[in-house]
Structure 1
Amino acid sequence: MMSYDKGVFHHLPHEPKWMKLPNNHKGKIVQAGQIVMNMMTTECVIVSERHEGSILPYNYTLIEIDETRLDSQYLVYWFNMSPSAQAQLNQFMQGGSLVKKLTLNHLKQIKIQPPPLKKQKLIGRIAAYRKRQKYLYQKKQYLMDQFLVEQLLREEY
């Protein structure tokens, strides 16, 4: 889920695993537009429509925000790119444990001083466009490589 929603292109098609859950299951089902964070890597993404209805894996946490005060795209960008966020997350990932993992308590302690909502929305929109641009560039490179292989090595077939 993370790499596609983060904007990383993979040439191999993603094949989701489907399962039927009982009505009383305790799994958390994610919806498009929700924010999730991988507690092992501290990567944060907005769930895409492609992954709507997925079960939230055990090492992911759903982050709920007050959208009248904080823009979701800005928050995701802040977590992934802000030196302030990275410093705080890295501090929490230190310690004696062999498995480095962010906890819910750590997440609650993170301090963010966002700009006004209008500026957050602008930053978030720019970040989303940039993510899409990177994805399309990676896809273009892959398709160009495939085309060249097809054209340059055609006589070998």
Structure 2
Amino acid sequence: MTWISIRILITLLFLVSQDLPAQNVIANVQVETKQLSKTNARSIFAMRVHQWSDGTPIKVFVLQDQNPTHNEFCKSILGMFPYQLRRIWDRQVFSGTGAAPVVVNSEQEMLNAVASTEGAIGYISLDNADTHEGIQMIKVDL
């Protein structure tokens, strides 16, 4: 390889490795948490953590399993496949040890549900999510 080819390859790899703002984790504006680790985000969306640090119950909202935004969220933010998350929820529901999250049909419904529910968390792909009243962005350390 020539030096120019190597520089082009390195540049392309750098651009591809950048965090793309495809998904935004959102929460109700009253949630005090502003940042989550990937592990904490995974625990919350796997329905294993039930309260925020201030004791407020967490209400998890997700899109339908076949939704492309849900698929990308699971892979890029949680680091798992959607079917793995579904298995966790199903195991908890069928064993009686937990509950599944609330499933919404669209990103607009997600915005409305999170904005109107105390302690709510969800995700969307919209770029203008921070302009919606009643929600805030939650940074996830990847």
| Bigger relative contact order, structure 1 or 2 (CA pairs below 8 A, ≥6 apart) | 2
**What is the TM-score of this pair, normalised by structure 2?**
0.23
Give 1 or 2 for the bigger CA radius of gyration: 1
More helix by share: 1
